[in-house]
Amino acid sequence: MIIRSKAPLRLGLAGGGTDVSPYSDQFGGAILNATIGMYAYATIKPTANNAIVFHAIDKGERYTYESAASLPMDGKLDLIKGIYNRIVKDFAQKPLSFELTTYVDAPPGSGLGSSSTLVVAIIGAFVEWLKLPLGEYDIAHLAFSIEREDLKMAGGRQDQYAATFGGVNFMEFSANDKVIVNPLRIKETSLHELENNLVLFFTETSRVSSDIIEKQRKNVTDKNESSISAMHNLKEQAQLMKEALLKGEVDKIGEILHYGWTNKRQMAEGISNSMIDEIYKSAMTAGATGGKISGAGGGGFMIFYAPENNKYAVIEALNKMGGRVMRYTFTEIGMTSWTVN
């Protein structure tokens, strides 16, 4: 028997950073994101040899442990071990024996939510294998709890919910870990036009998002007025983006993205840098009307909105910047799991 699962990565379109505590707890956050056809994959093969094997193909890492109720945090695929430890503690309540193979279509630190999406995919495989009674909100919250509480990883709340639910969603965040996911019913022609005009660019760099997120958190704790004001504006940006998409006013997306770009840079030091600024300037000069850095910032993926037929000139300009333009499609389906007998 083989159990498989996959969960989609996401493009954060608006409101990025307002899902991070303490801002979301004090003021409430709002995010608009869309999942794409790039995935995190997990495969579980149950065994009877009292061993646990973790094989992260994309990382080139493979480790074998003696089956136990709790595995040590030793710097070797701790994210995966943290998931296993929580599954045993809360559900299985006994050591398990299996081989887990994982792969992610984007590297860590790229800004597409790859780490959280992998957590959701692995949880999904365990839910399928052990027949756990967990719904979409349960899976997303468990993924958040493992990352943020058990493993003390800095970050927000949107990635786990995007990966679990899939599609284009307007998400609201408030105190006590309350999250509401509002799926958006966008006209098919509007979604096609957005997909056609939105250019995804990988800068060929990655970053440690926790460093930037900690600076953002400190700015809120220290009541940094300019940083908090920027976060208020980004929350407004999510609302503006939602209205534009629902009304089919797709060509407003560029200016809404640019509004977010000017504000996100004020949230914390390190979100942008000279390389990112030069890429942004190049895309705008070529005909983009707005763009953003994906995720916490500092590197990874960027997106640009190029109306009419401007995307071809934008792509040509970006290809000269040392990174690569990536093809993608939107996907409506979130985490999916299945069993092969």
Going by pLDDT thresholds of 50, 70 and 90, the confidence category of residue 209 is low
If phi > 0 it is left, if psi is from -120 to 50 it is alpha, else beta; for residue 26 that is alpha
| Residues 189-326, CATH architecture | 2-Layer Sandwich (3.30)
Map residue 6 onto helix, strand or coil: strand
CATH number for the domain whose boundaries are 2-185: 3.30.230.10
Determine the pLDDT at residue 206. 67
| Distance between start and end Cα atoms, the chain | 5
pLDDT digits (tens, 9 = 90+) for 65-89: 999 999 999 999 999 999 999 999 9
Q: Give the range among 43-57, 105-119, 199-213 with minimum mean pLDDT.
A: 199-213
Single pTM value for the model: 0.93
Pick the catalytic residue: 159, 222, 251, 277?
Answer: 159
Determine the pLDDT at residue 99. 98
| Whole-Å CA distances, 41 to 118, 121, 161, 241, 262 | 7, 6, 16, 30, 35
138 is catalytic: no
- DSSP assignments along 34-96, one per residue: EEEEEEEEEEEEE-SSSEEEEEEGGGTEEEEEE--SS---SSSSHHHHHHHHHHIIIII-S--
Mean pLDDT of the chain: 92
Where, residue-wise, is CATH 3.30.230.10 in the chain?
A: 2-185
Residues 232-241 have a mean pLDDT of 96
Separation of alpha carbons 9 and 26, rounded Å:
28
R_g of the chain computed on alpha carbons: 20
Determine the pLDDT at residue 269. 63
Q: Kindly state the tokens that stand for 73.
A: 């945090």
Where, residue-wise, is CATH 3.30.70.890 in the chain?
A: 189-326
Separation of alpha carbons 244 and 180, rounded Å:
20
pLDDT digits (tens, 9 = 90+) for 7-42: 999 999 999 889 988 899 999 999 999 999 999 999
Angle between helices 114-130 and 78-87 (to 10 degrees): 30
Among residues of the chain, what percentage have pLDDT more than 90? 78
